[in-house]
Structure 1
């Protein structure tokens, strides 16, 4: 296999992709420039207007070989440039049905040729993503520089005090806004969980201890579970600094390996944006464990999860950028699937109380993280990564992979392609307040 074969494939890929764009963009428009060649698709009169410049011809081959992942790889390696990555992503979401496939003949050719090209050229084509995987346990320094002070890696809840979900776009961004919105999110969850002084909480997915610390300050005791050594170490350090070690215990173990003493021991169960990693097959078991851990009477579970709209939710979910790097090997449930699984797997012992949609709060959260990462990259993040992550051989590609993920996720939530729900489950006949 020679470079001439690759060049021939790139030429074929360019032709096929341009043809697909010509036939597939009916909402909004796209302008592409490659050298002196310019291509225009769609109608600028309605929808998103997007543009990019192809810098290296490998762009076409990457996209044809790996589609979503190939586009990400091309961005991370600099095969194309754009002033507005999110516009391209939103344009794809708007036209995804018509852009979904090539013609039958072309698709058969692509499948045949791609398997051989990936075999021969796969290492060089995917090296950037292989060298900069985001992973589950990155540097604490990266997150400390990117997140709010309490280090909460999940969507905030914005209010008028911070200018709402568009405050940063309308000139209302101020220091401390993200911290206030994250504190509101934690307060909302603890309120839904109906906890107070003396309550015992089980948390699956510790993060860096923000919710546990807030609950302990209220007088609760917390057992929190994580698989991250980095998170456990820093969470325990923060807990000790606040002298809360008698209120919070951080356990390094899988949620399926909880100690027998946890059976029916908790007043509340909380999990924030962790259930995506549980998987379709294990979701009933997850709810069995929630049922097992909660007290039989007057207990509550609050679970926050990214979700898929019902019209595109499936049991078998194809690999795309989000399932490869944002939520590796994840399963994104629909709201209905979550509720039905909780009810059926616990024989009704978890009763649906509420499902709240906070999807519109995630885009600003992601924009805030992206800004903070870029603001702190040179002074804080890059020097720390050089020490803590020697396996990351290309720091610029690593940075671009994070920025791509932020834009990718934001575009999904903006278009309601991905949603975010807070579910509250209670024991049967557990009324919120006296009403007679």
Structure 2
């Protein structure tokens, strides 16, 4: 690969080109091609992937919000373009960006960068309309994780368009990590296998009662109902609930299955044989884990099982998501390590019996969703607009990189509610097929 870097400014008084500024703030060999609106360029001339900065406003986005947020703003607004990849699946470019290292230039060089950009470019432009309010403002307003605020956050992400999700997620309409039975399995096979795995871990059988919290479009609800289980699903998304109820009607499962447009906290029924929470814990807020798992404990009968399936961090020290994810994808979302989740489950009295990490499975799931978005790009853009479609491609491809590089993980935790004598009533060894 031929590497061509622009010459760095010899004197801080020089006016730097956009490419020279890129060279100034990056360390080592640039792993991609960078082309700017001022005619300057840097990075390998024969690089397969790259970025094209199209306007001064794009430079302003990058300068005033360094990192993933500034790049996302410029990209979503149409001021930054990708080279060599499809916007529905920019995985290869984002994987290369994962090797990019930034550095803080010396004070004199930083001053030269500021002079070169000029006062106007150092004023933050208004963010694209797809962006949610900043986290600090939500915290200051005291609204995070109230019923009203949670409904608003879910609406921001999940009520985009059912038709859009049908194109991206495929026939299963399942927006959680699949479980691949083998390397060559299709996305649909892997999603069906995930529901089978959850069902089996919960030891469900005909006539049992299941509560599925954060049920989405009802995939788990309908899977369990097909096996004769009576199921209540709850989702804060009105569009999801409507789609799920119609799917239940089409399959003739009305006597067994119900999906409510409801906060899970409003489910009053108790005595469930099992509770599944698939992809909801990320939205709860770490400080609310005791109340959340306490609610689940109260809904289970003695001997009842919980299966908690959620994205986690590889450590237990941090909780906040990145700026791009918080503003464009999951407002108010929080991630912590599986250890924190297990501790919270144990602290309310449930006994943890098993946990496993499906990190690589989520990377494969995201690759499947990106392929669907790419294959149906024109229809998706027609449905939600190009800017929103670009957000999804960026988010899913970036998340794939995160799962592959162990920035994030996916854990399933199985727990049981013991009876008054401390007995679980479970087999001595795992009873499901992995």
Q: TM-score, normalised by structure 1?
A: 0.77
1:303 matched to which residue of 2?
Answer: 308
What is the root-mean-square deviation in Å for CA atoms of aligned residues?
3.3
Distance 1:88 1:246, change over 3 A: same
The match for 1:167 is none
CA 1:240/1:129 → structure 2, altered by over 3 Å: closer, same or farther? same
> Aligned residue for 1:182?
191
- Specify which of 282, 288, 299 is matched with residue 293 of structure 1: 299
Partner SS, residue 24 of structure 2: helix
Larger proportion of helix: 1
Q: Deviation digits for residues 267-306 of structure 1, max 9, x if unmatched?
A: 101011111110122122111111111112x111001101
Cα distance between partner residues in 2 of 1:107 and 1:300: 57
Separation (CA, whole Å) in 1 of partners of 2:73 and 2:209? 45
Unaligned runs of 5+ in 1: 1-9, 165-176, 386-391
CA distance in 1, matches of 2:298, 2:177: 28
Report the counterpart of residue 410 of structure 2 in structure 1: 420
**Could you tell me how far apart the structure 1 residues matched to 2:172 and 2:222 are?**
9
* Separation in 1, partners of 2:220, 2:208: 14
- Residue 430 of structure 1 corresponds to which residue in structure 2? 424
Question: Is the 1:55–1:81 Cα contact (8 Å) retained in structure 2?
Answer: no
Deviation readout 1:192-239 (Å, 9 max, x if unpaired): 111111111111112111111110111111111111111111111111
The alignment of Structure 1 onto Structure 2 pairs a total of residues equal to 378
**1:68-217 equivalences in 2 (<5 Å):** 68-76=68-76, 77-84=78-85, 85-94=90-99, 99=102, 121-123=124-126, 125-127=127-129, 129=131, 135-160=157-182, 163=184, 177-217=186-226
Alignment match, 2:24: 19
Whether the aligned pair in 2 keeps the contact of 1:307 and 1:421 (CA below 8 Å) is: yes
Match of 2:387 in 1: 397
Distance 1:330 1:108, change over 3 A: farther
Question: 1:268 matched to which residue of 2?
Answer: 274
**Residue in 1 that maps onto 2:285:** 279
Q: Distance in 1 between matches of 2:51 and 2:254?
A: 52
Query: How far is 1:188 from its partner?
Result: 0.5
Q: CA deviation at 1:32?
A: 2.0
1:38 aligns with 2:27: no
The CA deviation at 1:17 is 4.6
Measure, in 2, the Cα distance between the counterparts of 1:157 and 1:19: 44
Deviation at 1:119, TM superposition (A): 11
Residue in structure 1 matched with residue 5 of structure 2 by the alignment: none
Cα deviation, residue 370, structure 1? 2.0
Alignment check: 8 A CA contact 1:352 1:426 kept: yes
Aligned equivalents of 2:113, 2:213: Cα separation in 1 = 43
Structure-2 residue corresponding to 1:169: none
Query: TM-score, structure 2 length as denominator?
Result: 0.77
The answer to whether structure 1 residue 336 and structure 2 residue 343 are counterparts is no
Q: Residue 88 of structure 1: CA displacement?
A: 4.2
Q: Take 2:177 and 2:203, find their aligned partners in 1: how far apart are those partners?
A: 21
Any idea what the Cα deviations from partners look like across 1:367-404, whole Å, max 9, x if unmatched? 222222232343x4455x3xxxxxx6xx1222212111
| Distance 1:209-1:102 versus aligned 2 partners, 3 A rule | farther
